[in-house]
Amino acid sequence: MGSLHRASKTLKSLRHQLLLQATQQFDSSSRLSGSSDYRLLLARALCSHPRQNAKEAVDLTQYPPERIRNFSIIAHVDHGKSTLADRLLELTGTIKRGHGQPQYLDKLQVERERGITVKAQTATMFHKYNLQDEPQPFLLNLIDTPGHVDFSYEVSRSLAACQGALLVVDAAQGVQAQTVANFYLAFESNLTIIPVINKIDQPTADPDRIKDQLKSMFDLEPSDCLLTSAKTGQGLEHVLPAVIERIPPPPGEGSGLLRMLLLDSYYDEYKGVICHVAVVDGMLRKGDKISAAATGQTYDVLDVGFMHPELTQTGVLLTGQVGYVVTGMRSTKEARIGDTLFHAKTIVKPLPGFKAARHMVFSGLFPADGSDFEALNHAIERLTCNDASVSVTKESSTALGLGFRCGFLGLLHMDVFHQRLEQEYGTHIISTVPTVPYIFEYSDGSKVEVQNPAALPSNSKQRVTASWEPTVLATIIIPSEYVGPVITLCSERRGQQLEYSFIDSQRAFMKYRLPLREIVVDFYNELKSITSGYASFDYEDSEYQQADLVKLDILLNGQAVDAMATIVHSLKAQRMGRELVDKLKKFIDRQMFEIIIQAAIGSKVVARETISAMRKNVLAKCYGGDITRKRKLLEKQKEGKKRMKRVGSVDIPQEAFHQLLKVS
Ligand SMILES: Nc1nc2c(ncn2[C@@H]2O[C@H](COP(=O)(O)OP(=O)(O)OP(=O)(O)O)[C@@H](O)[C@H]2O)c(=O)[nH]1
């Protein structure tokens, strides 16, 4: 509750105090050192902005870098990160206990519904801690991170602003694939890692076994492990002391030139683009002019503050602090994640940015009703304002009309995007089979990246001289009894085993190189189902490998449906063609004419099905009579149908497209 106490100081007395200090120190400003330069700089900052409101009166001078800890919570999905974050926010009085909205930092509707974290959120907390028997104020920045593989990009950028991480592990489930991935992300970023064994209230909890796993896999000392239950509150009192004592304060030069790392951005209806930043060196004040290293653009700082956990104005951000900045940016596209922001007209060395997000999955998005294109366009524009990790280009399909080709970080990311489009913007969409970015080389030596199978000419096989597909390095952790089925699944999916060992007597650890195409569709579900839900899986993108790829066309009555084309490995083309054709047969209704469904590679048909026409009984009025008359009527009917076949267009229900997504 330190913040409330401090907020109760009137702005007047604070300014007066700062002004005094500023005057006393002004003459000796050339000899600034330690935290006193902070006070002086801050005094100048506040004095130059006399119209700040009471909320801005948080006394940041109490928080030089040595009183700041920036940390993240990382874990496998569902091990309790967001719940633990909630408890810490409650413990520090940042939010009220039992505020009726669990997982406070999970703000998106999809996050609450699916119980997953998609976007990393930040919250600043104030905490008094006894150092040498004196309660000292600390400012703690907690950065929540997503747990799902698709969003590991968000994890690595959150870690860039931290000096330490709580590695949360479920006391019953133990180390899982994402625990391994997240541990290495934190370890490679040189962060102090505090192991937290959570959910110790569960009847199946076995903290000693988990301690052994953490020691054998990551060399984390059993005595360093904290035991907690974010549900019952047990052991939580040890978390913040460990954060303060074990994690180092942020480095950086308080009196140096301003350098800020742009961590994230989103669009707010009222304020415009809001950037989350970490101040690495120097100080930022409202009214400053700042430039972005990547884009070269200059902006006025209109508002600045931190997340407590809602946006709280402070008018200033100091070295080591994490907060938000509002400038006049019109779109989040201007805010390049990982960019360095600095005072205009100063020369600074840009901070190392992040690895750019790589689009793993592409799919076409079309309005279910062609006339809704404008509405879909508007919805996508608005949504990508807040999710700059989606790439969007316009696309036109003969079957589905005008639409968009979107690139996503993974299948869940794609699903979440679709769900948000429907929930938040009320759009109805048809999405095409997801594909991955392939590389094709043509006989003239040119290489192209193909993100849309329709863009690859059907008879291209003669001209294509080589093709490559992206691969991933997958980590799979499973109970030992499931090793056999998992090896079979991975080899069916053209995987190559790279590592196979045991974490302890019960769990096996495997590393595979797998073609990305083989995991984007249904791999995770299949893996979960053959291991009764016990498998955990994570992947990181890896190099391209050469593969014999072909384009598989779907033809309805001889006409290729561009939106249904896929690129597949030649060994799987036949089987996949059969599956697609069978699926379509089930979901396309019978029509007044016969429908022939074919799967073809170039001119070679690999699978075929026929949906017979609904038959009108032309003989209904023909009681008894001559057989030749009946034959004549039936012949006439056949002729008519032939014509309908030629002019008729097949109605493909939306469900058919959805079903195609599930064929691997
Ligand atoms: N029994 C028990 N359940 C817990 C505990 N902590 C969290 N949970 C439950 O575990 C589930 C997952 O918790 P979250 O906090 O959403 O997990 P997360 O790691 O943030 O999940 P993602 O955001 O999807 O990565 C929820 O149903 C929580 O109520 C605990 O200490 N004990």
* Annotated binding-site residue? 200: yes
Token duo for residue 584:
């379509």
Q: How far is the CA of 116 from the centre of ligand 1 (A)?
A: 9
pLDDT per residue as tens digits for the range 587-620: 777 776 778 889 998 888 998 988 877 765 555 5
Question: Quick one: pLDDT at residue 55?
Answer: 42
Residue 546 carries which DSSP code? Answer: E
Question: Quick one: pLDDT at residue 289?
Answer: 93
Q: Which residues line ligand 1 (CB under 6 A)?
A: 75, 77-83, 103, 115-117, 146-147, 198-199, 201-202, 229-231
Q: How far is the CA of 84 from the centre of ligand 1 (A)?
A: 8
Residue 532 carries which DSSP code? Answer: T
* Annotated binding-site residue? 78: yes
Token duo for residue 531:
């291991």
Residue 33 carries which DSSP code? Answer: -
Residue 244 CB partners (closer than 8 Å, separation 6+): 69, 127, 129, 138, 140
Question: Quick one: pLDDT at residue 491?
Answer: 94
Residue 422 CB partners (closer than 8 Å, separation 6+): 428, 429
* Annotated binding-site residue? 75: yes
Q: How far is the CA of 197 from the centre of ligand 1 (A)?
A: 12
Instruction: Report the atom number in ligand 1 closest to the C-alpha of 75.
Output: 19
* Annotated binding-site residue? 99: no
**Residue closest by Cα to atom 12 of ligand 1:** 78
Question: Quick one: pLDDT at residue 495?
Answer: 95
For residue 478, the surrounding DSSP H or E stretch is strand 464-479
Q: How far is the CA of 170 from the centre of ligand 1 (A)?
A: 9
> What's the Cα-to-Cα distance from 456 to each of 363, 436, 496, rounded to whole Å?
15, 13, 28
Q: How far is the CA of 69 from the centre of ligand 1 (A)?
A: 24
Q: Which residues of the chain are modeled with pLDDT < 50?
A: 1-56, 100, 115, 118, 460, 640-648, 664
Q: How far is the CA of 490 from the centre of ligand 1 (A)?
A: 30
Dist. CA 24–CA 40, nearest whole Å: 9
pLDDT per residue as tens digits for the range 23-80: 233 223 332 333 333 333 333 333 333 333 434 457 777 788 999 999 999 888 889 9
For the entire predicted model, the pTM comes to 0.70
Dist. CA 198–CA 170, nearest whole Å: 5
Residue 597 carries which DSSP code? Answer: E
ipTM, two decimals: 0.97
- Cβ-count burial 358-392 (b if 16+ within 10 Å, e if not): ebbbbbbbbbeeeebbeebbebbeebbbbbbbbee
* Annotated binding-site residue? 37: no
**Residue closest by Cα to atom 11 of ligand 1:** 78
Residue 381 carries which DSSP code? Answer: H
Q: How far is the CA of 115 from the centre of ligand 1 (A)?
A: 9
Instruction: Report the atom number in ligand 1 closest to the C-alpha of 85.
Output: 15
Q: How far is the CA of 103 from the centre of ligand 1 (A)?
A: 9
37-41 long-range contacts (CB < 8 A, ≥24 apart) are 37/254, 37/255, 38/64, 38/254, 38/283, 38/318, 38/319, 41/254, 41/255, 41/283, 41/318
* Annotated binding-site residue? 215: no
**Residue closest by Cα to atom 21 of ligand 1:** 78
Q: How far is the CA of 384 from the centre of ligand 1 (A)?
A: 29
Instruction: Ligand 1 pocket test: pick from 74, 77, 82 the residue with the most ligand atoms within 8 Å of its Cβ.
Output: 82
Instruction: Ligand 1 pocket test: pick from 78, 144, 158 the residue with the most ligand atoms within 8 Å of its Cβ.
Output: 78
Token duo for residue 416:
């979440």
Instruction: Report the atom number in ligand 1 closest to the C-alpha of 146.
Output: 25
Instruction: Report the atom number in ligand 1 closest to the C-alpha of 230.
Output: 31
Give the three-state DSSP class for 492. Answer: helix
Helix 11-26 vs helix 36-47: crossing angle, to nearest 10: 120
Q: Cα 274 vs. chain centroid, distance in angstroms?
A: 19
Question: Quick one: pLDDT at residue 37?
Answer: 37
> What's the Cα-to-Cα distance from 613 to each of 269, 630, 640, 655, rounded to whole Å?
53, 19, 12, 20
Instruction: Ligand 1 pocket test: pick from 83, 116, 228 the residue with the most ligand atoms within 8 Å of its Cβ.
Output: 83
Q: How far is the CA of 79 from the centre of ligand 1 (A)?
A: 5
* Annotated binding-site residue? 485: no
> What's the Cα-to-Cα distance from 161 to each of 120, 184, 436, 581, 606, rounded to whole Å?
12, 16, 31, 50, 53
Q: Are 438 and 565 contacting, i.e. CB atoms less than 8 angstroms apart?
A: no
